[in-house]
């Protein structure tokens, strides 16, 4: 892999990992095995976005979803290894693997949760400056973070791995993914992605008027639970399906590869939308949100129904699912366009020296299993950083319990 800067950085360089999902934990573990100083930051908790899918099956067996490094790490702490050919649920995967790996001696002190990254920038550089890539590569990154205990603080690091999920970003609600009027003032009131409607966040939705926007897997799961809540708690659901110019066979686009939903759940969501009773479930098709404003604690949402028609709704909560802005909102003065792509591992090296976008943040090859690609990207990235393309800890570190 030929780059216009030298990617090699010796230990003990400091690597910041953004995101505590499978990719972030795996990248942090690989780095610690090699002797790098690693700091992992997550805006919520390790595995938080996965737990929201509850007892639905993961997209693969334990053998496909784990790594030899992770298994060896938890085996060293005398935890039993799962049966390799069984398919775990999302909750089981987090509890029996991801959290156990995060709590091992290698990672425990390297992980900081409830600490979102507010800003990522490069010291001494601007996005427009003509500094050579070799010169930019010599400058460290500055991260601005925020936690409940420390407030806002900064961290200077040598390398950044962006392993965050799409749901951590702020998406566009207007037609074409743009920002509606009033977005800057009210964006913090918009909930994103999969919610815990029937468990942790139940009180936030019970008896409330809720607008759900989207037709992906997260929207389907939210709609099913909100409709269930409406039966007993008089929650009212306004479900907005974005209009599309291209024909589609179904209103819902959840039947994608590796979706955590079953065919029965997708069919149930279709029936909830098409057979809505009008009292507790109101189906709406719209191009997007034209404007947002607040009135006496209520969110007033203006939907763009047609080119000439808008419609106002007064609701307590808005949940936005589906497409999100590709660039996270914390990136300042960085050049993060992907520049390297190969058939097996996709594009994960950016134009910004020492900034890597792994897993869901990268451009993945079509048809590949995301966990397999994730591990390959991690291995290749550390091969670049360490100057050893042949380096593969997955071949040298093996658990004893699996053959």
Q: Which two tokens stand for residue 253?
A: 């686009």
Is pLDDT of 245 > 80?
no
* Mean pLDDT value across residues 165-178: 57
Predicted confidence at residue 170, as pLDDT, reads 44
Banded pLDDT at 168 (limits 50, 70, 90): very low
Looking at 298, 320, 342, the residue that finishes a domain is 320
Task: Mark whether 50 and 73 lie in a shared domain.
Answer: yes
Task: Mark whether 187 and 297 lie in a shared domain.
Answer: yes
Q: Which residue has the higher pLDDT, 238 or 288?
A: 238
Is pLDDT of 264 > 70?
yes
Q: Residue 229 half-sphere exposure, CB side, CA atoms within 13 Å? A: 23
Q: Lowest-confidence range among 180-194, 286-300, 335-349? A: 335-349
- Spatial distance between the Cα atoms of 349 and 362, rounded to a whole number of angstroms: 8
Percent of the chain residues past pLDDT 70, beyond the cut:
87
Helices 370-386, 22-33: axis angle to 10 degrees equals 30
Q: What is the DSSP letter of 189?
A: G
- Spatial distance between the Cα atoms of 146 and 373, rounded to a whole number of angstroms: 31
Note whether residue 103 is domain-resident: yes
Domain containing residue 342: 14-166+326-396
Banded pLDDT at 40 (limits 50, 70, 90): very high
* Mean pLDDT value across residues 41-52: 92
Note whether residue 297 is domain-resident: yes
Neighbours of 277 (CB within 10 A): 10
Task: Mark whether 28 and 110 lie in a shared domain.
Answer: yes
- Domain of 303, CATH number, reads 3.50.50.60
Handedness of CA 39, 45, 50, 55 (dihedral sign): positive
Q: Which residue has the higher pLDDT, 167 or 151?
A: 151
Banded pLDDT at 149 (limits 50, 70, 90): confident
Banded pLDDT at 156 (limits 50, 70, 90): very high
Is pLDDT of 62 > 90?
yes
Note whether residue 88 is domain-resident: yes
Q: Which two tokens stand for residue 230?
A: 């409406």
Task: Mark whether 115 and 225 lie in a shared domain.
Answer: no
CB 163 within 8 A of CB 370: no
Looking at 288, 320, 352, the residue that finishes a domain is 320
Task: Mark whether 352 and 300 lie in a shared domain.
Answer: no
Looking at 320, 353, 370, the residue that finishes a domain is 320
Predicted confidence at residue 401, as pLDDT, reads 78
CA dist 173 to 10, 179, 252, 319, 322, Å? 44, 6, 18, 10, 10
| Cα 307 to the center of its chain, rounded Å | 33
Prediction pTM value: 0.82
Sheet of 317-320: strand order equals: 190-192, 317-320, 209-213, 236-242, 281-286
Question: In sequence order, what E strands does 90-163 have?
Answer: 111-112, 117-122, 141-147, 151-157, 159-162
- Spatial distance between the Cα atoms of 135 and 125, rounded to a whole number of angstroms: 9
Nearest 5°: phi and psi at 396?
-100, -25
Banded pLDDT at 119 (limits 50, 70, 90): confident
Q: Which two tokens stand for residue 78?
A: 């005398």
Strand partners of residue 312:
302
- Spatial distance between the Cα atoms of 304 and 301, rounded to a whole number of angstroms: 10
Task: Mark whether 161 and 249 lie in a shared domain.
Answer: no
Q: Which residue has the higher pLDDT, 83 or 322?
A: 83
Task: Mark whether 70 and 114 lie in a shared domain.
Answer: yes
Predicted confidence at residue 249, as pLDDT, reads 59
Q: Which two tokens stand for residue 287?
A: 């191009």
Note whether residue 3 is domain-resident: no
* Residue-averaged pLDDT of the chain: 86
Note whether residue 5 is domain-resident: no
Predicted confidence at residue 380, as pLDDT, reads 92
Predicted confidence at residue 365, as pLDDT, reads 72
- Spatial distance between the Cα atoms of 69 and 395, rounded to a whole number of angstroms: 9
Predicted confidence at residue 379, as pLDDT, reads 94
Task: Mark whether 178 and 150 lie in a shared domain.
Answer: no
Is pLDDT of 223 > 90?
yes
Task: Mark whether 309 and 331 lie in a shared domain.
Answer: no
- Spatial distance between the Cα atoms of 6 and 13, rounded to a whole number of angstroms: 15
Predicted confidence at residue 351, as pLDDT, reads 86
Task: Mark whether 138 and 235 lie in a shared domain.
Answer: no
Task: Say how many domains are in the chain.
Answer: 2
Q: Residue 198 half-sphere exposure, CB side, CA atoms within 13 Å? A: 14
């Amino acid at each position: 892999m030929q780059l216009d800067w030298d990617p090699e950085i010796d230990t003990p360089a400091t690597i910041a990992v953004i995101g505590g999902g499978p990719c972030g934990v795996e990248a942090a573990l690989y780095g610690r095995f090699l002797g790098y100083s690693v700091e992992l930051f997550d805006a919520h908790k390790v595995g938080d976005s996965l737990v929201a899918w509850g007892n639905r099956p993961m997209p693969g067996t334990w053998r496909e979803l784990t790594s030899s490094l992770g298994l060896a790490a938890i085996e060293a702490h005398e935890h039993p290894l799962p049966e390799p050919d069984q398919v775990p649920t999302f909750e089981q995967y987090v509890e029996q693997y991801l959290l156990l790996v995060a709590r091992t001696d290698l990672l425990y002190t390297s992980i900081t949760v409830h600490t979102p990254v507010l800003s990522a920038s490069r010291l001494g550089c601007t996005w427009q400056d003509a500094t050579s890539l070799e010169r930019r590569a010599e400058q460290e990154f500055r991260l601005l973070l925020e936690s409940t205990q420390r407030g806002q603080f900064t961290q200077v690091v040598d390398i950044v791995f962006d392993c965050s999920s799409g749901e951590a970003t702020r998406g566009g609600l207007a037609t074409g993914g743009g920002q509606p009027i009033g977005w800057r003032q009210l964006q913090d009131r918009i909930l994103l992605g999969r919610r815990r409607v029937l468990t942790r966040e139940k009180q936030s939705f019970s008896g409330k008027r809720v607008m759900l926007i989207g037709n992906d897997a997260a929207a389907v799961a939210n709609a099913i639970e909100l409709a269930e809540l409406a039966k007993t708690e008089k929650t009212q659901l306004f479900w907005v399906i974005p209009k599309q110019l291209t024909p589609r066979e179904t209103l819902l686009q959840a039947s994608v590869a590796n979706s955590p939903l079953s065919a029965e759940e997708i069919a149930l969501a279709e029936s909830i939308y098409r057979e809505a009773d009008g009292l507790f479930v109101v189906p709406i098709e719209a191009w997007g949100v034209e404007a947002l404003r607040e009135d006496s604690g209520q969110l007033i949402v203006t939907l763009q129904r047609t080119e000439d028609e808008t419609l106002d709704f007064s609701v307590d909560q808005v949940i936005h699912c589906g497409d999100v802005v590709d660039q996270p909102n914390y990136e300042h003065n960085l050049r993060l366009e992907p520049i390297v792509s190969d058939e097996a591992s996709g594009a994960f090296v950016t134009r910004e020296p020492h900034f890597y976008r792994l897993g869901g943040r990268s451009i993945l090859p079509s048809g590949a299993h995301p966990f397999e690609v994730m591990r390959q990207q991690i291995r290749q990235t550390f091969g670049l950083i360490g100057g050893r393309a042949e380096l593969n800890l997955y071949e040298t570190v093996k658990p004893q319990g699996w053959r």
